[in-house]
């Protein structure tokens, strides 16, 4: 069983007992956190898609530690101008471990079909108007 969940503005594919590095969370080390924005849920081949998120589905995780990532070097240069700029930073990260995935949501394909039917109704009158204009130009 796996899920695609949005954590701190980024999407991650997670499964049980997986360790993930995410952007810094405000929770303390050792505390549990729940993510409700589950976008996709796969339960042994049964895929549930959210529109945009699955209602009732959640991912539970435990905060292991807060740390800083590797140094990222930013180097800017404009050729033949003598311009060189070197800068860098270390991103603040949080390491979490996924403890469980709970999914209660259902597939939401019905609203998309209803939306498709309404677009067909809108397109039909446009064709009639076009035929009427062609008849007027022939007379």
Number of Cβ within 10 Å of residue 44's Cβ equals: 5
Residue 14 near residue 2, CB atoms below 8 Å? yes
Residue reference for tokens 């905060």? 63
Instruction: Kindly state the DSSP code that residue 57 receives in the 8-state scheme.
Output: -
User: With bands split at pLDDT 50, 70 and 90, how would you rate the model's confidence at 130?
Assistant: low
Residue 59: closest CA among 38, 31, 45, 39: 38
Query: 38-66: per-residue pLDDT in tens?
Result: 999 998 889 999 989 999 999 999 999 99
Q: Which residue has the higher pLDDT, 134 or 2?
A: 2
Residue 14 near residue 101, CB atoms below 8 Å? yes
Residue 71 near residue 117, CB atoms below 8 Å? no
Query: 95-123: per-residue pLDDT in tens?
Result: 999 999 998 744 444 444 444 555 555 55
**Which helix (H) or strand (E) is 119 found in, with range?**
helix 110-138
Give the pLDDT of residue 138: 62
Cα(107)–Cα(44) distance, integer angstroms: 15
């Amino acid at each position: 069983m796996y899920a695609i969940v949005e954590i701190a503005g980024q999407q991650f594919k997670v499964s049980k007992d997986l360790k993930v590095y995410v952007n810094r969370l405000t929770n303390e080390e050792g505390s549990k956190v729940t993510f409700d924005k589950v976008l996709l849920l796969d339960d042994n081949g049964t895929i549930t898609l959210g529109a945009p998120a699955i209602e009732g589905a959640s991912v539970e995780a435990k905060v292991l530690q807060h740390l800083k990532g590797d140094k990222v070097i930013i180097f800017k240069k404009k050729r033949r101008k003598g311009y060189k700029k070197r800068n860098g930073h270390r991103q603040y990260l949080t390491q979490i471990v996924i403890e469980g995935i709970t999914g209660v949501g259902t597939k939401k394909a019905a609203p998309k079909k209803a939306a498709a039917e309404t677009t067909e109704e809108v397109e039909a009158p446009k064709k009639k108007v076009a035929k009427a204009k062609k008849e007027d130009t022939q007379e």
